[in-house]
Amino acid sequence: MIFNDFNPLEDKTFRIIDNEGKVIDKARMPELDQETILNAYKSMLFARTADQMAVSYQRQGRMYTYPPILGQEAIQVAAGMIIREQDWLVPAFREMALMLAKGVSLKEIFLYYLGNEEGSNFAKANHVLPICVPIGSQYLHATGIGYSVKYQQKDEVVFPFIGDGGTSEGDFSEALNFAAVWEAPVVFTIQNNQYAISVPVKSQTRSINLAVKAVGFGMPGIKVDGNDFFAMYVAYKEALEHARAGKGPVLIEAYTYRKGAHTTSDDPSKYRTREEEKSWEKTDPLARLKKYMDSQGIVLENEEELIQSYKEEVDKQFLEAENFRPYDLEDVFNYMYVEMPDDLKRQKANYEQYLSWKEKRK
């Protein structure tokens, strides 16, 4: 089992292909047919296209803010292939590609960033929680769901995500501790993209890596090259098996790089150098997988046309989000409680009176 083979205390990193796409760990290379690999690449390409377009919609003033996933596609596409429909996805807020894989629509994601709560009301992704902005707090919900599915004897595994910065929150440690004590079926992922807005990992922790934090809580942990699609795939596959076998939680550190800004409101040039950004360029997850595919004769035909068709699809979904029905006063009130208290009804009625006064003044 890879969790035994890559001891985070020795700062080992699980990796299958190198930056040139060459297989360096043949024994652990997963048996995937060419079509599956091609589809994985396509999913990464679609996510990257959608991500870049999301940033440009924001730049055009059509969307308020957006946290890019650029550079983190391999982790999410690999996880998306392993996480089954009945499993639970508990995202932070930089998991767009994974949310797509689990049935959330781009339209819904866009609608959220267009400032409408309906964007968290996923039509086809019942076991996907909404994104979680209060850093790290979602990890505890995942542990709770882990207890719940175990109690209900369901064949469901929980997959929470967090960033490197989130590991400093108390909720992170508490969630790991509870999950370990309860032997809950939870596969924790840290997307270590090296930055919490402007703060680098070295200012976040003095641990030799983030996977090692698992050790103190008594669960397996592994540091994986997050830009290596195959390594991520294998890590998730084994993690799922571990959790399904009733062996409790595991922690995966997906070591990657946030190539974009924290959100569209952020300017990374304030706190990191072009040289550093360039040095990560060679690890790009799409480029690496492409090099592997080239070496194996797996051909992606008409890539330019494919990207064009992706752009059209993304644009279609964005327009659907933009043309979503106008936000109504009802939308502010209707979901605050299952049963609306009288006091809220009064406030709403008062506001309607004001609106009719405003209408008359025109």
Nearer to another protein among residue 39 and residue 168 (C-beta) = 168
Count, residues near another protein per rule CB under 8 A: 46
User: Per DSSP, what are the bridge partners of residue 14?
Assistant: 224
Nearer to another protein among residue 166 and residue 285 (C-beta) = 166
Residue 141 annotated in active site: no
Residue 127 annotated in active site: no
Determine contact, residues 64/105, Cβ cutoff 8 Å.
no
Which tokens hold the place of 204?
A: 């976040």
**Choice among 271, 327, 335, 351 that is catalytic:** 271
Nearer to another protein among residue 114 and residue 214 (C-beta) = 114
Nearer to another protein among residue 278 and residue 325 (C-beta) = 325
Nearer to another protein among residue 237 and residue 348 (C-beta) = 348
Residue from 23, 181, 199, 306 binding another protein (CB under 8 A): 199
Three-state secondary-structure class, residue 88: strand
Residue 327 annotated in active site: no
User: Per DSSP, what are the bridge partners of residue 221?
Assistant: 251
33: contact with another protein by CB under 8 A: no
Residue from 5, 20, 117, 241 binding another protein (CB under 8 A): 117
Residue 104 burial (C-beta neighbours within 10 Å; 0-12, 13-18, 19+):
buried
> In the 8-state DSSP scheme, what is residue 28?
G
Binding segment for another protein among 153-161, 263-271, 280-288, 302-310 (CB under 8 A)?
263-271
**Which among 91, 96, 87, 95 has a CA at the least distance from the CA of 126?**
87
* Cβ-based neighbours of 254, under 8 Å, separated by 6 or more: 72, 75, 189, 190, 191, 192, 224, 226, 232
226: contact with another protein by CB under 8 A: no
């894989």: which residue's tokens?
Answer: 101
Nearer to another protein among residue 52 and residue 137 (C-beta) = 137
d(CA 100, CA 158): 17
**Half-sphere exposure of residue 212: CA atoms within 13 angstroms, side-chain side:** 11
Binding mask 159-178 toward another protein (x if CB under 8 A, else -) reads: ------xx-xxxx-------
Binding segment for another protein among 68-76, 83-91, 127-135, 236-244 (CB under 8 A)?
127-135
113: contact with another protein by CB under 8 A: yes
Residues 273-302 that bind another protein (CB under 8 A): none
Residues 313-342 that bind another protein (CB under 8 A): 327, 329, 331-333, 336, 341
Query: In the 3-class helix/strand/coil scheme, how is 163-206 assigned residue by residue?
Result: ECHHHHCHHHHHHHHHHHHHCCCEEEEEEECCEECCEEHHHHCC
Which residue type, as a one-letter code, is found at position 283?
A: T
Task: List, by residue number, the catalytic residues.
Answer: 258, 262, 271
Name the residues that contact another protein, by CB under 8 A: 64-65, 112-117, 133-137, 165-166, 168-171, 196-199, 203-205, 265-266, 270-271, 327, 329, 331-333, 336, 341, 343-344, 347-348, 351, 354, 357-358, 361
